[in-house]
């Protein structure tokens, strides 16, 4: 395992993060405590230090397990958790039990600190943009937590690019703690982040932690098995054709389909990407960690990328049209070196 600086921060995190939404059986499909511990230990044995959880994962069980597992060497680990979402058992008629307001933020963080049995959170994500709380309120409240020593760094998950950009503009203007990481779903079937989020992340020097690497399992080819229940909408015929090709390429190069799908994400150069490995068994994790043993060639990356047509749309496609580029740059565009 190698390590990356997390965005514009000086924080060193493992190049692969361990997702723990599967830690706990509260949602019926998760891992037992014993299996969760085996997964955690295998990740640590590979050199991992970057653990991803959230206040509502498995009704809080995920945070409890993470807190227990890291307790023997808390300072070694970088723990990322999230606020915004309410647990299923909470009062569903309470309008302030979820969202991004200061009230819910403080309540949620205090509860997470207790479950994690820690005095501080390394990276706190806003989990989902709620379209009701102002960016100013969010950034001021998050910065207060940083100043109180309860949070070290700030991230935004599942949030539009313009919101993250505005947040960091306010941070720069008002000397607040900036957003150093975003979290998004990204895979061969879901390439939307390439449109606005990845360019924004480069401009703002923000790391991108990625979930949904396997498209709910579609990219492993498993939905071709008639005995496997198609639980995900992404298990469309088009998605399964992409999965078939991933299986074919994996067989040709002697690696598993999950490894090929994850490395396609990991090797993208249009953002500082840190994949989040989400597994239910230690065997799955060990297979996923195999991505560290090889890299896809440029030709293989292109072959895989060509499996799913992606159109950035306006304004990117318009502004990169050959005719428009010539209107702007004349005949010089191909001679310009772009370092950003």
Q: Tell me which residues are annotated as active site.
A: 57
Give backbone dihedrals phi and psi of 209, rounded to 5 degrees, phi first.
Answer: -95, 135
How many helical (H) and strand (E) elements, i.e. helices and strands, does the chain have? 12, 10
How far apart CA 315 and CA 327 sit, in angstroms, is 15
DSSP states of 97-157 as a string? SSSSSHHHHHHHHHHHHHHHT-S-EEEEEE-S--SSS-HHHHHHHHHHHHHTTSEEEEEEE
DSSP 286: H
> Which residue do the tokens 């700030």 mark?
154
Estimate the crossing angle of helix 298-305 against helix 257-266, to 10 degrees. 100
How far apart CA 123 and CA 166 sit, in angstroms, is 19
Residue closest to 146 by CA, chosen among 155, 138, 158, 154: 154
How far apart CA 24 and CA 21 sit, in angstroms, is 8
How far apart CA 124 and CA 126 sit, in angstroms, is 7
Residue 14: HSE in the Cβ half-sphere, 13 Å Cα cutoff? 25
């Amino acid at each position: 395992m190698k390590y990356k600086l997390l965005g514009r921060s000086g924080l060193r995190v493992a190049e692969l993060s361990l997702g723990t939404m599967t830690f706990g059986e509260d949602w019926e499909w998760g891992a037992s405590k014993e299996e969760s511990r085996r997964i955690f230990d295998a990740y640590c044995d590979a050199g991992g230090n970057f653990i991803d959880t959230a206040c509502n994962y498995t009704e809080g069980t995920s945070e409890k397990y993470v807190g227990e597992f890291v307790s023997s060497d808390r300072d070694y680990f970088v723990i990322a958790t999230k606020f915004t979402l309410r647990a299923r058992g909470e009062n569903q008629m309470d309008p302030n039990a979820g969202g991004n307001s200061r009230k819910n933020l403080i309540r949620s963080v205090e509860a997470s600190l207790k479950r994690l049995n820690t005095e501080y959170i390394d990276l706190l994500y806003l989990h989902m943009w709620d379209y009701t709380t102002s960016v100013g309120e969010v950034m001021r409240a998050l910065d207060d937590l940083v100043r109180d020593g309860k949070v070290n760094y700030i991230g935004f998950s599942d949030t539009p690019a313009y919101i993250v950009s505005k947040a960091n503009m306010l941070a720069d203007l008002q000397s607040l703690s900036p957003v150093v990481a975003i979290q998004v779903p990204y895979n061969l079937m879901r390439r939307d982040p390439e449109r606005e989020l990845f360019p924004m992340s480069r401009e703002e020097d923000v790391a991108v932690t990625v979930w949904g690497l396997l498209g709910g399992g579609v990219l492993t080819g498993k939905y071709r098995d008639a005995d496997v229940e198609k639980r995900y909408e992404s298990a469309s015929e088009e998605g399964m054709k992409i999965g078939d090709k991933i299986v074919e390429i994996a067989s040709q190069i002697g690696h598993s389909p999950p490894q090929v799908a994850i490395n396609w994400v990991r090797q993208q150069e249009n953002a500082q990407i840190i994949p989040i490995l989400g597994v239910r068994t230690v065997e799955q994790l060990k297979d996923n960690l195999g991505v560290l043993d090889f890299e896809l060639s440029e030709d293989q990356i292109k072959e895989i990328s060509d499996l799913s047509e992606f159109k950035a749309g306006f304004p990117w496609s318009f502004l990169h049209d050959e005719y428009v580029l010539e209107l702007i740059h004349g005949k010089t565009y191909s001679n310009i070196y772009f370092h950003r």
